[in-house]
Structure 1
Amino acid sequence: MVRKSGPWRALLDDVASVERSGMAVSVGLRCALGMLPPLIIGVATGYVGDGVSAAVGALVVGFVSFEGRYRSTLRNMMLASVGVTVSAFVGAIAAPHLLLLLVVLAIWGFLAGIAGAFGPGMSMAAMQAVEVLVVFSSLGMGIEGSVVQSLWVLGGALLQIILLVLTWPTRRLDGEMASVGEVYRRLSNYARSSPRTAPAADQLTSGADWLGDPNPLGDPSAIVALKELFQLAQDIRLSLSALVFEARGEFDEAETESQWAISFLQQAAVLLGAIGDQLSLSTSLKAKVRLWSRRHRRLFVRSLDLVAPEADASRPILGLLARQLDRALHLTNEVATAGSRVVLPGLNIGNQGSLDETLRRRLRGLGKVLAADSELLFHAGRLVLVLVAGTYLAHAFGLANGYWVPMTAAVVLQGDFSGTVQRGLARLGGTLIGAVAVTELAALVVPSHGVLIVSIVVLTWCTYATYRANYFLYSIFLTSDVVAMFAIIGSPVGSTSEERAIATALGGAVAIAVFILWPTWRRRLLPKSLAAMVRTQGAYAKAVLSCFDTTHADDDGVLDVEELRVLSVSARSSRQLAATLLEGMSTEPGTQQAAVATAGAILSQVNFCALLALALNAELLTEHQFFSGMIELGNAIEQLACYQADRLMSFGSMSDPEEVGPPPPFPSDLVASTVLYRQILELVSSFQELGALIEQYGSVVLMI
């Protein structure tokens, strides 16, 4: 949804808002406990500084555990452990030589910038390596001392990995079950909300994330059942889209014959909600809920008999959805029984080849990252600049804790203006409050080592817990945590707090200045994203229509479901990306609201095209008819979509794409098929209406 408030008010609202779902209390506690052994060992042996180095290793690698689920998290943490160890050694060696340090920072910054091509986990691991490099560049020591400190950092990092693996047996499959439950709850909300367009583009994201990397100690049968439940949710999503198409007339109060579809949607919403609730409940309550969901099943079957006794024969989608829901209930009860078991003798590591294939695919795509217009390349360049400029300014001003300048600039810098300013404001405000709070507390009492250790662990817990919930609160706790770690090695708290506040302000200013000088405005990226969205939606529509062609009649109804799912995921991802860019564009300074409104209208129209394509895809899962000329019709739709995409990219340039002709006439036997004819007719009309919106968007862009 596009913001209606001004960009600066929206930024302040983001700084103050707390995302409750982002609170990580249990994960934060596990990561915070990784700080305890190094600090205790350091104080007990008298090597407090070494213990703090190990705690730093545990702190930074703990953040990497927030990305991924199981095997992917373990892989990222192991890579991060190696990265922070090397960074600690190199940073300590290069510290006395400013020119060498600037070169090393530039290399590290560039690598961290392009690491985003390999996923958020790799990007996070690379950024932690950069932060450790910056921190240890403030020490400056010989080779022997650098080796010792880097080994302490490695020890703390490995401790976090051990704590992570130890929690796997206790987690069972709760996360996987809850993620699939969230998918079904969102399907329930969609069916209940009287929708007019396709389901949300990010509706299936959480389930795909968890089931792509399940718990290696989880029961294999439960994992298989959960994956089938997730695949079933994708099919149910198609069936719901078909019902929404039928029910649109009643939603608009223009037709009464669609009442059966609305009643069916409402009953389906109840059952989908029951499935989602059951999967999300704790294991001890699942047996009770199984009986409750069975009662919902009986009520649903009875309501089906009452609502659509005649429609079921003429509209096979009803029978399809009823069978899908029945299967989902069966699988849900099966998962509830098996999901609490833990497999200890041997690890169910899943398909490791899939991870290797993913890595190879991302390596093949690395060339695109290095293209001249790559957004990641721009971000890598900005990251190099903030690290080099921040370090140089810290040395020029002679700041005692000057490393905080480049580190603040690096973590504040985001890929968009709004995120950079938001983080800059939150980081500055959080640092000032955290520094003042710890300074005042230290003035009242002189804490012992024991009190400081407990304080550091508690503050670290709060830092992790608020990391994804609110960056402002996270900055408060992080600053307090760092000042407390300086206090335990004997650094004056007051001077540390003042210097850190100055360095934070300077680092935030560097990040914002670099982004303004070398920007990546969302409004410049949006036309390309909109074009990709239209193009992928056209490819999906073509594939669906082609499956109705008579050339497939001899296939005994065999459908390449996987190919359609791949195209559907591509279209869904492109719609999600366009929506994200539109959201970011609305908060950028200088953005014209007319451009936001017209781009939003294009997105809404494509969502409607997606609804129609999904509804037709659902019909393919039933015993449907085949028609001649559907391949030609699908090709015409794709050509029209490609023309519209090229038109979006041509605004402001000297060349226009070659226009395409009208689609071929509909087959006569298709016209006789009432339901399919209406769906396909509206699909073609929707793509044609999309052209008018694109021309309107072009006129606005050219005026700007």
Structure 2
Amino acid sequence: MTWLRALKETARAGLTVERKRLEPLVALRGAAGLAIVIGLSLTLFGPAVAASSAFGAFQAAIATFQRSWRPRPELALASGTSLAVSTFLGYLTGSHLLLFLALLCLWTFLAGLSWAAGPTVGIIASSNVAIMLVTVTIPTSVVAAAGHAAMMIVGGCVQAALVILFPVRRWGAHRDALADALAAEADYARRLRHDPVAAFDPEPLMAARDAATITARQARTRPAELHGARGVAERIRPVLASLADPAVGVPEEGKERDRVRELLAAAGAVLDAAARAIRHGEPVRIPPEAQAALRTPDTGAILTGPAYRAATRLGALLKDVLETAGNSGGPSAEADRTAPAPLLRPTLFALVPAAMRAVRAELRHESPVTRHAIRVTAVAAAGYLLGHWLPLGHGYWAPMASVMVMRPDFSQTYSRAVARFGGTLVGVALATGLVQLAHPGTGLSAALAVLCAGMMYLLMRTGQVAAQACVAAYVVFLLGMGGQQWTQTVPERVVLTLLGGVLGMIAYALYPAWETPRLRTRLADWLIADGRYAAAVVDRYAHPAGKACPDVREALLAARDARVAWQEAVDRAKNEPVRHRGLSRAAAADAEEVLAQLGRVAMLMEAHLPERGDTPVPAAARLADALRKSTEQGAKALRERRVPKWEAVRTALDEWDGEGVPDRVVRRGAGLLLETLDELSDAMDTSPPPMLVDGTSTKRPDDDGPRNPEGPAAR
């Protein structure tokens, strides 16, 4: 992509306003907390302290809007406290330019590194640095600075208290995550009726797992219908795929396929009913036709073998889902004994060592997080010095804009820079016009500031430009509350905001962290994860008890994480003005499809894992070992821009055939694994085939199809 097109795409993304589901009650709660803090501060201490406390309460409320399954009060307290510490230390060094500049560089560098601990921590840390640049100019003495910092903590405490006293949809986000997972599987079941090899995006299941990982305090109050349903939903997906896939199930047409379509339609209806019940906390209402389809005794007469086993297993899992979703009357003692142990999330203080380990792992020059930390530190220092030297006053606007718009990736940095400048123009223009018309005093300015903050809370998920417009108007009214005229803030704010955004964009162009050159590494990581997942599944056939082989569940989660990392990398790379460097978009799309198919084949085999008392298959251990080693070697070949080879897998499969395979599902699945790996090699082989004298191309040695007559069926 050229630079011109990249700039056009990022500008369009930054100026886009999307239609999102608004949360007016949550926005009203945040605005109410801000109003309480401003009102108390104005009454007790005056406009200067009110402005500082307003920034603390404003930032604390924003922290509670960040995506986190952790209790929201903790985020508000952490945000208010960290802002207070930053402001107090900033004031102590503010009278010495070099000393404050050193503190600013240290704080900004740490805020940049904090993105390694996750986007929520990164956003809170970056916002604290930006707001600190404003709040350090308000106090007039050390005692006053301590008082301002204390009021910022009070602002965080007020927002935290409101979250506790007035919860909006308690457990609502967790309900939505689980309901979305069940609804995604319902949609998957319906799509399988028409496309037996339809793809499934595991992101809803991953979000449901994140939501199910709760703190010990949350575990004591979690609603009964949120217990265990996610685990059952995870087990339904491979059963649905196995029931529909003609390679391991029933033929593509005929009486058996018609029966499978009926079961899939009924499963979709049941899963949708369970999703609605969990989302709204109401009883499950199943359509009568779905109940009839699942209860009919004809299934055993029509389906046989693997398809019958999958249908029986599906009915049992759907029953478990309904029992879990329908348990909305509170957990009973029997349910407490049989419910699985919750996935416990560490406490806020216990996260510190994990965050430190994540930061330490990113402390290398090629890391995007480290490069972002260096980049944002240099820009903040340069912006502060330029703002200090320019004859505009309020020089902190430039570094504040830079810190707020810069992110570790190209697209977000450029789109946020455009959105911040556009939003600033709109917000300042509207606020300025209102000030000239109404000439508000202290009280009215405070009320208008609260109104603008409430609008920002309401619209912040619709797009950056809308949120930035509200923030710009909020700051104008808040500073006007302290006695500053709009003519003292508006012109320099617009100019310095533009300067800060341009500095951030230039910094990324000069010191980038492009994702495009790392796509092959991301693809190799996904191949290794998928290979380990497939090997873990195959290994279970050699060790049905599961004691001497890797955990299938852990391997599946690692494969999902690798897939999401690849997809996020592709999304970041698609708007970068960088050449593909060895991995074209077509090759990347083909490789993504193949690796998704590899994971899907492993999932089909997982649906028919042997029971603990079944007879072991020793040859499966050799195939699992070959899969594990070959995919690691193939990943190395991908990184080195070579075409991976799979001779070890082919040899292990031939040896397994020589010993006999008792279950055709196992043989078909193993053959499909090899076929998929060969397709990956074809996708990565971009060299033109050699030509014969007559002008026809030569064929690869393995182009004649599977080496075994019982190999995988054509898809």
User: TM over 0.5, yes or no?
Assistant: yes
Match of 2:434 among 441, 459, 483: 441
Q: Percent identity?
A: 22
Other-structure match for 1:692? 682
CA contact (8 A) 1:297 1:326 kept: no
Question: Is 1:245 aligned to residue 245 of structure 2?
Answer: yes
Does 2:561 correspond to 1:573? Answer: yes
More off after superposition, 539-548 vs 496-505: 496-505
Distance 1:698 1:398 in 2: 63
How far is 1:119 from its partner? Answer: 2.6
The amino acid that maps onto 1:128 is S
Aligned equivalents of 1:690, 1:166: Cα separation in 2: 55
Letter in 1 for 2:682: A
How many residues are treated as equivalent by the alignment? 670
Q: Which amino acid aligns with 2:302?
A: E
Highest RCO, 1 vs 2 (Cα 8 Å, sep ≥ 6): 1
Aligned counterpart for 2:586 among listed residues 558, 579, 597: 597
Q: Which moved more, 1:378-387 or 1:257-266?
A: 257-266
Are 2:607 and 1:618 aligned? yes
Match of 2:699 in 1: none
Instruction: Show the 5 A alignment for 1:231-630.
Output: 231-246=231-246, 258-281=257-280, 283=281, 286-287=282-283, 290=284, 292-293=285-286, 295=288, 298-302=291-295, 305-306=297-298, 309-311=301-303, 313-315=305-307, 316-335=309-328, 351=344, 359-549=352-542, 552-553=543-544, 555=545, 563-591=551-579, 595-620=584-609, 626-630=616-620
Matched, 1:647 2:641: no
Give the superposition deviation at 1:559: 7.2
Encode CA deviations 1:311-361: one digit per residue, 9 max, x unaligned. Answer: 25543121111100011001110036669xxxxxxxx99946577765544
1:697 deviates by 9.4
CA shift in 2, pair 1:697/1:7, >3 Å:
farther
Q: What is the CA distance between 1:529 and its match in structure 2?
A: 0.9
Q: Distance in 1 between matches of 2:126 and 2:629?
A: 43
Please report how far the alpha carbon of residue 679 of structure 1 lies from its aligned counterpart in structure 2 after TM superposition: 1.7
Which position in structure 2 is the counterpart of 1:86? 85
Shift of 1:417: 1.2
Cα gap change, 1:642 to 1:314, in 2 (>3 Å): closer
1:36-61 CA-to-partner distances (Å, cap 9, x unmatched) read 12221233346111111111100112
Query: Partner of 1:638: helix, strand, or coil?
Result: helix
Residue 405 of structure 1 deviates from its aligned partner by: 0.9
Quick one: distance in 2 between partners of 1:445 and 1:41?
Answer: 24
Which residue of structure 2 aligns with residue 678 of structure 1? 668
Q: What is residue 25 of structure 1 aligned with on the other side?
A: 24
| TM-score when normalising by structure 1 | 0.87
Tell me if the contact between 1:274 and 1:296 (Cα under 8 Å) persists in the aligned partners. no
Q: Is the 8 Å Cα contact of residues 192 and 266 (structure 1) preserved in structure 2?
A: yes
Q: Please list, as runs of the form range in 1=range in 2, the aligned pairs for 1:28-67 lying within 5 A after superposition.
A: 28-45=27-44, 47-67=46-66
**Does 436-445 or 113-122 show the bigger shift?**
113-122
Q: 1:605 to 1:255 in 2, by over 3 A?
A: farther
How do 1:152-167 residues align onto structure 2 when only pairs under 5 Å count? 152-167=151-166
Bigger mean CA offset, 521-530 vs 594-603 = 594-603
Give 1:522 shift: 1.4
Instruction: Quote the offset at 1:464 in angstroms.
Output: 1.6
Task: Give the whole-Å Cα distance in 2 for the aligned partners of 1:349 and 1:28.
Answer: 31
Q: How far apart in 2 are the matches of 1:657 and 1:675? A: 27
* 1:604 maps to amino acid: E
SS in structure 2 at match of 1:696 = coil
CA RMSD of aligned residues (A): 3.3
Question: Matches of 1:698 and 1:511 in 2, distance apart?
Answer: 43
Give the corresponding residue for 1:702: none
- Range moving further from structure 2, 27-36 or 473-482: 27-36
DSSP-derived class of the 2:327 partner:
helix
The match for 1:175 is 173
What code does the residue aligned with 1:126 have?
Answer: A
Q: Which has the larger helix fraction? A: 1
Q: What is the aligned partner in structure 2 of residue 343 from structure 1? A: none
Q: Is the 8 A contact 1:180 1:230 kept in 2?
A: yes
CA shift, 1:460, in A, is: 0.7
**Distance between the aligned counterparts of 2:678 and 2:21, measured in 1?**
42
Q: Separation in 1 of the partners of 2:531 and 2:453?
A: 49
Query: 1:231 offset after TM fit, Å?
Result: 0.8
Q: Distance in 2 between matches of 1:234 and 1:645?
A: 28
Farther off after superposition, 89-98 or 106-115: 89-98
Unaligned runs of 5+ in 1: 340-347, 700-704
Alignment of 1:103-114 (within 5 A): 103-114=102-113
Check whether the contact 2:84–2:153 (CA below 8 A) recurs between aligned residues: yes
Q: Which runs of 5+ in 2 are unaligned?
A: 333-340, 690-715
Q: Structure 2-normalised TM-score?
A: 0.86
| Residue-by-residue CA offset, 1:98-125 (whole Å, 9 max, x unaligned) | 2112111111011111112223333233
Amino acid at match of 1:525: R
Q: Which amino acid aligns with 1:583?
A: D
- In the TM superposition, residue 259 of structure 1 has moved relative to its aligned partner by 4.3
Give distance in 2, aligned partners of 1:58 and 1:600.
46
Counterpart in the other structure of 1:208? 209
